[in-house]
Structure 1
Amino acid sequence: MRLVSIGECMIEMSGAGENLWRSGFAGDTFNTAWYARATLPAGSVDYVTCVGTDPVSQQMVDFMGAGGIGTDHVMRHPTRVAGLYMITLKDGERSFTYWRDQAAARCLADDPAALTAAVNGADLVYFSGITLGILTADRRVALLESLQGQRVAFDPNLRPRLWPDTETMCEAIMQAAHVSEIALPSYEDEADFFGDADPEATLKRYADAGATEIVVKNGGGDMLVLADGQTHLIEPGPKAQPVDTTGAGDSFNGAYFSARLQGLPAPEAARYAHGIAKQVIGHKGALMPMDQIAKDAA
């Protein structure tokens, strides 16, 4: 089994006390790779991105490798560096301040041949709306073309600040949906930008775009799962009090992919992934240490 995740890893700065900050590395598609690696007992998880040649970029690559995530397809840019963000928390909910205009990851699709080689032989290739949002229009096309013939999973992860306008964002999201077998939209985001009246409308829109397996996440509420032509309502159970919701959706995605690659039916995989996400929101920061995740008790 081989999962390939494509996107941007950034320097994460999270609060460690008054006027104190703790640094780490995170980013939506990297977080997903992290939780897939943590819950996938066999097989490989590779990450595809572009970083700089500076010492911090090397530390980032070393961190990936130490976590068991493959870095053979991490490209290097001679002048750019990694992007950075800072997390601000209030009642467990997070907000972000970003510095990413010169991030090397914006060049991850500059070499289409390298992208094609990176995904060759994968059992599943994953990317997100953030992956699209950091790229120029022509590089978005190059990325989607490199995915032709692959089994593709996509999380829209709608972030309007990355886009010139919401119309461009929504158009690009649906273009990505057309090349994806698996879609993992979040209903609240989809309602805000596509006007979906309910999760059923979100599911139908992605099914109409061509996705055959869809998980409509719902902020801890009931989820909808479409798989094998059947729609299932997944009740997540009692809510957990969040300490930090950073990475919740990413951990869900990673655990879901892991479960599906191991042959678990989609509804059971969604329940399992929700259990992993409930653990993650009780931990500060995007990445919960792998050895602290209760994988069998999700």
Structure 2
Amino acid sequence: MAKRIVSIGECMIEMSGGEDRTYRLGYAGDTLNTAWYLRALLGKDWAVDYVTALGTDRYSDDIRAFLKSNAIGTDHIGTVPERRPGLYMIHQDKGDRHFTYWRDQSAAKLLADDKSALQKAVEGASLVYFSGITLAILAPRARGRLLGAIVKARDNGAKIAFDTNLRPALWSSPRVMASVLTAAASLCDIVLPTHTDEAPLFGDETVEDTAERYLEIGVEEVVVKDGAKEALIATSTERVKIAPPPAGKVVDATGAGDSFNGAYLSARLNGRSIRDAAAEAHRVAGIVIGHKGALVEPKFLK
């Protein structure tokens, strides 16, 4: 099977504000962030493709150009002429970061409308990555199409990785969110949840509870993130806890979890153990939080 990764989700326009109320335009999104770090950390023999939907406006064109210029494949990005990319603004208030979103008419909400295009996008992939946000922005039938394509990719030999990435505001109810995320996770080989996000929804008291819940539904490898605390990596035969290195100055925590995922998965794809992969993930996330923005230049990651 070709060395090819497919990451599926929403790329948004990011307007990041400083204390002086000036804003910097960029592009980000959880699955794009992870694709960025996979691309940065894997060799050139790996292809990393991004699957989403964009419009025909100048910002959609700019996103495509940005991805291409950073060696992230765009061949499977759909086009919805009447839609635009979603947008969010980050503003600072005495050191605290606040987010405001505009995504109701996001083209990415229609990324799974074309079943055949979606199946073609994941065809031949060695790893398919998606998130709870990917699912949350889709209509119920579109979620079914996406999960159907993922099942087919897995049947054809792809590994499936999934960050549950809970965003309650994007779901119709906590019950629906829990049901859909659990069903999706049961189709995956690697699940990368965050304990503090999962605990209120599922009642997990410990990181072990979070890991066991996913192992019980058939997930082979569960990587439980817990902020600045130890990460737990659990399989049916092994439990490993890895602490992050001493933290330096935290400049911007945006994308820390996404970079952790990208570094962990890249290490595993390169044949490293779960222990080594978790240590690498902590290392990269520690670098990312020392820089401004979700996407840190590859030269700083080595």
Question: What TM bracket, shorter-length normalisation?
Answer: over 0.9
Listed as ranges, the gaps of 5+ residues in structure 1 are: none
Partner of 1:144: 147
Which residue is equivalent to 2:32? Answer: 30
Runs of 4+ in 1 over 6 A off after TM superposition: none
Q: Relative to structure 2, which stretch is displaced further, 224-233 or 155-164?
A: 224-233
Matched with 2:54 is 51
Counterparts in 2 of 1:93 and 1:145: CA distance versus 1, 3 Å:
farther
> Structure 2 stretches of 5 or more lacking a match?
none
Distance in 1 (CA, whole Å) between partners of 2:33 and 2:290 is 16
**Per the alignment, in what secondary structure is the counterpart of residue 52 of structure 2?**
strand
Distance 1:90 1:215, change over 3 A: farther
Separation of aligned partners in 2, 1:105 and 1:137 = 14
Amino acid at match of 1:67: N
Per-residue CA deviation, residues 229-269 of structure 1 (Å, 9 max, x unaligned), is 21111122323331110000000111111111111111111
In structure 1, the residue matched to 2:68 is 65
- Distance between the aligned counterparts of 2:106 and 2:218, measured in 1? 32
* Aligned-residue offset at 1:17: 5.0
Deviations 1:20-39 (A, max 9, x none): 10000000000000011011
User: Percent of aligned positions with the same letter in both sequences?
Assistant: 51
1:61-100 deviation line (CA, Å, top 9, x unaligned):
1000111101110110010000000113457653311000
What is the DSSP-based 3-state SS (H/G/I as helix, E as strand, rest coil) of the residue aligned with 1:237? coil
State the Cα distance separating 1:228 from its structure 2 match.
Answer: 6.2
The yes-or-no answer on 1:269 pairing with 2:269 is: no
**d(CA) in 1 for partners of 2:118, 2:298:** 28
| 2:223 aligns with one of 209, 215, 219 | 215
Match of 1:182 among 190, 212, 216: 190
Considering Cα pairs closer than 8 Å and 6+ residues apart, tell me whether 1 or 2 has the greater RCO.
Answer: 1
Q: Is the 8 A contact 2:186 2:217 kept in 1?
A: yes
**Mapping of residues 231-246 of structure 1, within 5 Å:** 231-246=239-254
CA RMSD of aligned residues (A): 1.3
The alignment partner of 1:190 has SS state of: helix
Alpha-carbon offset, residue 16 of structure 1: 4.2
SS at match of 2:119: helix
Corresponding residue of 1:120? 123
SS in 1 for 2:214: helix
Counterpart in the other structure of 2:286: 278
Check whether the contact 1:227–1:266 (CA below 8 A) recurs between aligned residues. Answer: no
How many correspondences in the alignment?
A: 294
**Pair 1:205–1:252, CA change in 2 (3 A):** same
Residues 115 and 92 from structure 1, CA distance in 2 versus in 1: closer, same or farther, beyond 3 angstroms?
farther
127-136 or 144-153: which moved more?
Answer: 144-153
CA contact (8 A) 1:184 1:215 kept: yes
Distance 1:189 1:169, change over 3 A: same
Separation (CA, whole Å) in 2 of partners of 1:254 and 1:52: 27
SS of the aligned residue for 1:147 comes to helix
TM-score (norm 1): 0.95
Structure 2 Cα separation of the partners of residues 16 and 41 of structure 1? 35
The CA distance in 1 between the partners of 2:21 and 2:205, in whole Å, is: 43
Matches of 1:240 and 1:144, distance apart in 2? 40
